[in-house]
Amino acid sequence: MSPIAANLQREALANIAAKLRPLASPPRMIFCSTQQCYRSFGGRGRGIAVFGLGVVIAPESWQVYIVEHELLHMLQAQELGLFGRERSPIWFREGMAFSVSEPPDFDLPDYARPFVAQYDEWEHRVGRENVWDEIRRP
Ligand SMILES: [Zn+2]
């Protein structure tokens, strides 16, 4: 792995551990430097989380907040299970990933803004330390 990719990986894992909680077993991470690489993993958008495989980062997406975003989806699966994660509302899944990874405003897509707003309002109410217990509530 390139030193740049290794640094991104280390920094993103440390940030997530500090902001929420650590990933128990850090997933395999693939940093593509070509579109051919990224497409070969079925990549679309900026990065993808492939449960059971790992995180694949697009060539133009070597930014720590994008790596964090995909790792946050892995953390959701760790905490809620794959099925629990699938059942959780999209404002939670994507709102958390976009909010906690703190992208610069120009890199927050319009479709994600309502999810972030709803997640932030909810997290503010329940407290970040309680988000997993609260989202598991029936
Ligand atoms: Zn996402």
Output the six-digit token pair for 28. Answer: 């395999």
- Tens digit of each residue's pLDDT (9 = 90 or more) over 62-77: 999 999 999 999 999 9
Q: How far is the CA of 93 from the centre of ligand 1 (A)?
A: 7
Q: How far is the CA of 1 from the centre of ligand 1 (A)?
A: 24
Q: How far is the CA of 73 from the centre of ligand 1 (A)?
A: 7
| Euclidean distance between the first and the last CA atom of the chain, given in angstroms as a whole number | 42
Q: How far is the CA of 108 from the centre of ligand 1 (A)?
A: 11
Rounded to a whole number, what is the largest CA-CA distance in the chain?
A: 44
Are 115 and 91 within 8 A, CB to CB?
yes
- Tens digit of each residue's pLDDT (9 = 90 or more) over 73-126: 999 999 999 999 999 999 999 999 999 999 999 999 999 999 999 999 999 999
pTM comes to: 0.96
